[in-house]
Amino acid sequence: MGNWNTFTKKGVTALLAAFLLVSVQGPSRSFAAEINAEVPKIIEKTSPSVVAIIGKPTYDSNKTLEKNRFNLAHGTGVIVEAGGVIVTNAHVVKDMKNIVVVTSDGTTYNGHATNIDEESDLALVKIEASGLSPATFASSSDIKVGETVAAIGTPISFALRNSVTVGIVSGLDRSVSSQYQLIQTDAAINPGNSGGALINMNGEVIGINTMKYAEFGVENLGFAIPVDTVKYVLQHFKQYGKVKRPYLGLELEESWEAVVGLPSSTGLRVAYVDPDSPAAAAGIEQDNLVVSIGASKVKTLVDYNEAIKKYLPDDKVDITIQSGSSTVTKSVTLGEVLHPETKWKEDAEGSDLDADRGKTKIGDSHFGWSMKYPAGLVKGRQSEDGNSINFVDAKGEFSLSIQVDSESDELSPSALLNKLTGAEEDDYGYGDEAPSTILERQYVKREGGPFAKIVGRSGDQGYIQTRGFLHEGRLYKLQLFVTKDHYNNDFKQNSYNDLLDSFKLSFNAQDESLKDISVYSSGNTTYTNEYGLSFALPSSWQKSSYTGNSSFFNDDYSQMVQVRVTSASSGDTLAAWSERERKQFEAQYVPKYRKIEKPEELTLAGVPALKTAYAETLGNKWTAGYSLFFIKDKYKYQLEVSYPQDEEGAEVNDLLHTLTSTIEVDKESMDQELGFIQDLDELMDPDRTITYKNEKYKYSLQIPEMWTSSKSYDNKDQVSKSFLFTGGYLTIGADTKQSYEDAVKEEDAAQKKSHDNDSEYVFTNEETTLFGGVKAKKYEVNYASAKVPYKETTYIFNQNQISYTVTLRMDEAVRTEANEARLNKAFASLKFLDAAKK
């Protein structure tokens, strides 16, 4: 079952769509009263079945990101069982943790998501309660276009929970941005009401609100999940713990009419058939048209989903298809779509919605400072080692930054004041703001430590107070910015000064009311990728990523861990894989410049693995390392550790132990959209070539496909094209203005100058012919640059009034027979376009 036109549909409907949390604020109260004087009674009857839901958003694992106590997500739910089972939208709770449910009477319960189905956008939340008021569900056949409906929910803010609005059913069988049909209502929809009830004038739930269109100029366009879809999902949750969806193995394509919303006259085109699927087994082929599922005609993907949800996996269903001019019916035994299970998310600090409850002070244990922690103080940016941090006020009245830098304790009061007057960049490249007008400048002596103080205006925006403390070789700089409106309020100003006065150059680890925000660590950090792989490295290491790889470096970049994950091809084995890698390594370096040991067997992530130790050099310093190989859950995992060979010892051994002892693969945490990731090394042919053609300078040649290329210009605008490989290159320079004789003179002078500068630089030159008679000058050099020996051959010749300079260079370390043959073959393939035309 596919959705080939998701992007197309989004394009068609982009003027409308935005998933939002739902609330209805439509007609005025007088209009509502005119529609139905019984609305208050109906709302009074139904409200106890509607709850508000609030929780924390799920965060990235980045340790410098703040778990902002005010950054909360909220939505709405409907009670379906008196024992505390609540239905809501999947998008409300799928990324929510530490869920709290508030009933209409204000009672608060801790809850957690037990079932999530993103395709229907429905989920269940469980709370430990009894005697609740379950909602009554209507029959879908009783819903009529134009009937009055009301919505109860939590729009905009959690403080507005149990808001009620009234509207009508604007349309049925809508299918915008959903797998299933939706109810359209003219009720205005606002963030926070997702998962709330859309009820009829009998007090029955006819749908669960799910989205609104919020594009500029679009009004009164909201949607709800119909009651029959809700009942279908709830029944599956109860019976199976999930929605058991049948699987056919088809990617289906709608007609143009269906995409733009016109009535379609054709079925769904089969764009792709999974080779191992039920559809393939039944003989359904690409470009067939699916006309019906059982007795249900299908012309849109929503038609298809509505039809297929009537069946269960392992059911047999008749599928009518059109192939060319003939129509046939296929009997298909359905498979099952597999989805990951719901996991109960809880914050590492516990289930409390406010993880900072009871914390009245905040500080950093590593840098040794603390201060008061007002309820409205929100932590913002923080540097990786914690020496720079910013706070803002939840109401937007002020901001506060703290910067800790190394500084001599001998700095005089005047020098310290002068230092605070200027603006400096923090670890993020953001500059501290310097006041435009200084209002106060003094050195304050107080018990607990003196400090320098600068107060000034920041243009017309507000006021800045900066304080600087010297302590044990560090400068602690506090900078408070207050908006103009609040600074002139004496009461507010006293509270700001009280916050600054509370700053202390101490941290009491025994004080339970003190929150530690230190991110500094001398231990390890665990990394996880989309393939379920996790491992630990020292916290001082840094990560960089690019397509297909992740690299990790220590603080001076001398040590590196590189991670590569690809799919295991059918029939591949651990031994065969590591042997291919060994052969590639040996083919790259001559024996004198490489070492590789026999693979060592070990266990990683609970499966057999191999560790291969190696070392390589270009002639100066040796680089050593280990390659770790293992295969698990259809993927090949390779971790390569490299470091300078002269650093071998306890530190490297500890690194390897930390890495190998923490490697794990969790299948459940894999990205569910991952497919087959081809290992390019399996397809690589080092001798395969491609044609490079330069029309301007009239030449072509065959270059190994695995080489890379670059272009450069010298100060005379001579163009050089370089083809690069590990340890060498082939460069072609072309000049239409320089004669052969001048080019030779220039090269003679350059070679002689190099020899004069270094007597070990020795070159030879001779007249020769190339390409069947072309006069050329050949220069050959064998030299060691920075202890890296290499051989370089340069040819100068003229063809078609163009002077060419071709240089072939290869380090001795990589001068294997195969590498040298590839380089010489590439040069020998040089052809001149005009000559080729003759």
How many CB atoms within 10 Å of residue 409?
A: 10
| Nearest Cα residue to 151 out of 90, 192, 182 | 192
Structurally, the chain folds into a number of domains equal to 5
Q: How far out from the chain centre does Cα 819 lie?
A: 39
Q: Are 568 and 592 members of one domain?
A: yes
- The tens digit of pLDDT for each residue in 242-255 reads 888 898 888 888 87
* 68 vs 46 pLDDT, higher one: 46
| Nearest Cα residue to 733 out of 743, 725, 742, 748 | 743
Phi, psi of 196 (to 5 degrees): -80, 170
Q: Which of 255-259, 474-478, 683-687 has the lowest mean pLDDT?
A: 255-259
In a domain, 45, yes or no: yes
Spell out the SS3 assignment of 639-682: EEEEEEHHHCCHHHHHHHHHHHHHCEECHHHCCCCCCCCCCHHH
In a domain, 2, yes or no: no
* 56 vs 313 pLDDT, higher one: 313
Which residues does the annotation mark as catalytic?
Answer: 91, 121, 194
* 141 vs 47 pLDDT, higher one: 47
372 neighbors 510 (Cβ within 8 angstroms): no
Q: Are 611 and 547 members of one domain?
A: yes
* Mean pLDDT score, 251-267: 76
Tell me how far CA of residue 86 lies from CA of 80, 111, 339, in angstroms: 6, 10, 22
Spell out the SS3 assignment of 707-719: CEEEEEECCCCCE
Structure tokens of 72? 């909360």
Residue where a domain terminates, one of 192, 217, 240: 240
Q: Are 66 and 81 members of one domain?
A: yes
Q: Is 371 helix (H, G, I), strand (E, B) or coil?
A: strand
Q: Are 625 and 557 members of one domain?
A: yes
- The tens digit of pLDDT for each residue in 706-726 reads 999 987 765 444 578 999 999
What is the model's pTM?
Answer: 0.58
Instruction: Decide if pLDDT at 7 tops 50.
Output: no
In a domain, 343, yes or no: no
* 488 vs 348 pLDDT, higher one: 488
Instruction: Decide if pLDDT at 322 tops 50.
Output: yes
In a domain, 351, yes or no: no
| CA gap 614, 600 in Å, rounded | 12
In a domain, 816, yes or no: yes
In a domain, 3, yes or no: no
Q: Are 280 and 217 members of one domain?
A: no
* Mean pLDDT score, 335-347: 66
- The tens digit of pLDDT for each residue in 593-628 reads 999 999 999 999 999 999 999 999 999 899 999 999
* 483 vs 837 pLDDT, higher one: 483
- The tens digit of pLDDT for each residue in 408-447 reads 888 899 999 988 876 554 444 444 566 778 899 999 998 8
- The tens digit of pLDDT for each residue in 646-683 reads 988 888 999 999 999 999 998 878 887 788 899 988 88
497 neighbors 624 (Cβ within 8 angstroms): no
Q: Are 262 and 278 members of one domain?
A: yes
Q: Is 797 helix (H, G, I), strand (E, B) or coil?
A: strand
Average pLDDT value over all residues in the chain: 83
Q: Are 72 and 206 members of one domain?
A: yes
| Nearest Cα residue to 19 out of 118, 143, 160, 151 | 118
Q: How far out from the chain centre does Cα 3 lie?
A: 23
Residue 322 structural domain: 246-336
Q: Are 745 and 700 members of one domain?
A: yes
- The tens digit of pLDDT for each residue in 158-176 reads 666 667 777 788 778 666 6
Residue where a domain terminates, one of 682, 703, 731: 682
Q: Are 505 and 530 members of one domain?
A: no
212 neighbors 189 (Cβ within 8 angstroms): yes
Q: Which of 50-59, 89-98, 749-758 has the lowest mean pLDDT?
A: 50-59
Q: Are 782 and 733 members of one domain?
A: yes
Query: Which pLDDT score, from 0 to 100, does residue 838 have?
Result: 41
Q: Are 330 and 369 members of one domain?
A: no
Instruction: Decide if pLDDT at 363 tops 90.
Output: yes
In a domain, 352, yes or no: no
93 neighbors 56 (Cβ within 8 angstroms): no
Query: Which pLDDT score, from 0 to 100, does residue 45 have?
Result: 86
- The tens digit of pLDDT for each residue in 789-833 reads 999 999 999 998 999 999 999 999 999 999 999 999 999 999 998
Q: Are 795 and 824 members of one domain?
A: yes
Query: Which pLDDT score, from 0 to 100, does residue 249 have?
Result: 83
Query: Which pLDDT score, from 0 to 100, does residue 63 have?
Result: 45
In a domain, 344, yes or no: no
- The tens digit of pLDDT for each residue in 527-563 reads 888 899 999 998 888 887 554 468 999 888 899 999 9
CATH for 253: 2.30.42.10
Residue where a domain terminates, one of 240, 258, 286: 240
Instruction: Decide if pLDDT at 745 tops 90.
Output: yes
CATH for 782: 3.40.1000.10
